[in-house]
């Protein structure tokens, strides 16, 4: 399988779907809000390494494993992207490991 955490093409940065692992401890918290916070920590780090920042995000796709999780993650999503207001899609679908409850994919544009 071909895979890159992120691909930069000109002014664009396409960040692959990120799940809620805490990469410092290689731990996946059970709480979906903590998973969402970890997703954004990884996204922030990847964007920074690519020369972008969170304010450059123009598109986001959230994948959650259960629609019942949405109320729990909305405060985290709002805290991270509420002022940025990217175009967004939320999908309910299974993820590749049972402990994964959320995956977040973003696209950023450097103007």
**Residue 31, Cβ neighbours under 10 Å: how many?**
12
Q: Which domain holds residue 86?
A: 6-109
60-12-95 Cα angle (round to 5):
35
**What CATH number is associated with residue 34?**
3.30.1330.40
Whether 45 is in a domain gets the answer: yes
Give CA separation, 15 vs 39, 49, 69, 75, 104, in Å.
11, 12, 23, 22, 9
Whether 12 is in a domain gets the answer: yes
Q: Specify the number of domains making up the chain.
A: 1
Per-residue model confidence as pLDDT tens for the chain (111 residues): 788 999 999 999 999 999 999 988 989 999 999 999 999 999 999 999 999 999 999 999 999 999 999 999 999 999 999 999 999 999 999 999 999 999 999 999 998
Whether 30 is in a domain gets the answer: yes
Whether 98 is in a domain gets the answer: yes
Write down the pTM of the prediction. Answer: 0.95
Whether 20 is in a domain gets the answer: yes
């Amino acid at each position: 399988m071909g895979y890159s955490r992120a691909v930069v093409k000109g002014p664009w940065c396409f960040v692959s779907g990120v799940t809620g692992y805490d990469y410092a401890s290689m731990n996946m918290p059970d709480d979906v809000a903590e998973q969402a916070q970890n997703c954004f920590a990884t996204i922030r780090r990847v964007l920074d390494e690519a020369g972008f920042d969170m304010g450059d995000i123009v598109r986001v796709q959230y994948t959650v494993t259960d629609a019942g999780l949405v109320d729990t993650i909305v405060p985290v999503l709002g805290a991270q992207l509420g002022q940025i207001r990217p175009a967004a899609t939320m999908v309910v679908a299974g993820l590749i490991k049972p402990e994964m409850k959320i995956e977040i994919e973003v696209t950023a544009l450097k103007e």
